[in-house]
């Protein structure tokens, strides 16, 4: 089933009846909500909890890093270089932040408490999950940020919400990732750690993708935060 037209369209999957927990999983640039649906069966979540997975589709928009091509993207951006980082279009980034907050509010309306909601994402979706989760005014269950970086790092100190200072953040990256350079992700990790966040960091021998070892680590982490 899909969420109402007033919200981002999404693929939904429930692991049981009457879900008590939710995972909002955001896809990468150019993909769509179907991209990570198959991973649910590989996560080995306990049958004792019922989880609603929500995989929204990003809007279609021109993307500067791809020469203005129109595709599904959470925000417009361009890469300066691996050391300087990424230049985001803040209007589009904040618009997507609000869209994800609206999906969180929808889960709350369906009876799921914020502390039982995980924001997850891969690549650009992971960046948005971090951006939104760190700024959300109520405590979340966790943030899962795969093969991504922290967008708008200069605004974090002023915009971060105390409610999620101790929320578990799972960050993972491939050592051979040439799409989102490892050095950029490591810089994000350092900023979060220096800001006092509880970051669980993982590196894998992979490119800009997901591997079996990573899925096992995600499963272990989700089983811990989805209590």
Residue 227: pLDDT band with limits 50, 70, 90: confident
The per-residue pLDDT for 77 is 87
The per-residue pLDDT for 130 is 98
As given in the structure block, the two tokens for residue 160 are 């971060």
As given in the structure block, the two tokens for residue 119 are 């924001």
pLDDT reading at 214 higher than 50:
yes
pLDDT reading at 82 higher than 80:
no
CA distances from 145 to 33, 47, 62, 95, 203 (A): 16, 25, 24, 19, 12
Alpha carbon 105 to its chain centroid, in Å, reads 16
pLDDT reading at 223 higher than 70:
yes
Specify whether the CB–CB gap between 226 and 117 falls below 8 A. Answer: no
Please report, in angstroms and rounded to a whole number, the separation of the first and last CA atoms in the chain. Answer: 25
CA 192, 196, 199, 201 dihedral sign is positive
The per-residue pLDDT for 193 is 98
The per-residue pLDDT for 86 is 77
The per-residue pLDDT for 88 is 87
Interatomic CA distance for residues 104 and 216, integer angstroms: 26
Interatomic CA distance for residues 15 and 75, integer angstroms: 30
3-state secondary structure of 204: strand
Active site residues: 123, 177, 208
Query: What does the chain come to in residues?
Result: 227
Interatomic CA distance for residues 4 and 18, integer angstroms: 19
The per-residue pLDDT for 2 is 41
Find the mean pLDDT for residues 198-209.
98
Residue 3: pLDDT band with limits 50, 70, 90: very low
The pLDDT tens digits of the residues spanning 172-185 come to 999 999 999 999 99
The pLDDT tens digits of the residues spanning 136-149 come to 999 999 999 999 99
Find the mean pLDDT for residues 45-62.
96
């Amino acid at each position: 089933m899909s969420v109402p037209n007033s919200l981002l369209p999404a693929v939904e999957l429930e692991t049981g009846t009457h879900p008590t927990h939710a995972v909002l999983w955001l896809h990468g640039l150019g993909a769509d909500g179907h991209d990570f649906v198959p991973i649910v069966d590989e996560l080995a979540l306990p049958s004792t909890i019922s989880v609603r997975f929500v995989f929204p589709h990003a809007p279609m928009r021109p993307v500067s890093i791809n020469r203005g091509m129109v595709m599904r993207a959470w925000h417009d951006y361009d890469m300066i270089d691996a050391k300087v980082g990424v230049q985001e279009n803040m209007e589009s980034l904040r618009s997507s932040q609000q869209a994800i907050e609206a999906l969180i509010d929808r889960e709350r309306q369906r009876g799921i408490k914020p502390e039982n909601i995980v924001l997850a994402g891969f690549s650009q979706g992971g960046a948005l999950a971090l951006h939104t989760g760190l700024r959300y005014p109520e405590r979340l269950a966790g943030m899962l940020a795969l093969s991504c970086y922290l967008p708008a790092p200069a605004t974090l100190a002023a915009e971060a919400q105390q409610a999620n200072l101790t929320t578990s953040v799972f960050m993972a990256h491939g050592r051979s990732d040439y799409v989102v350079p490892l050095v950029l992700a490591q810089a994000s990790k350092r900023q979060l750690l220096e800001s006092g966040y509880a970051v669980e960091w993982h590196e894998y021998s992979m490119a800009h993708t997901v591997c079996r070892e990573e899925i096992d680590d995600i499963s272990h982490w989700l089983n811990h935060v989805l209590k």
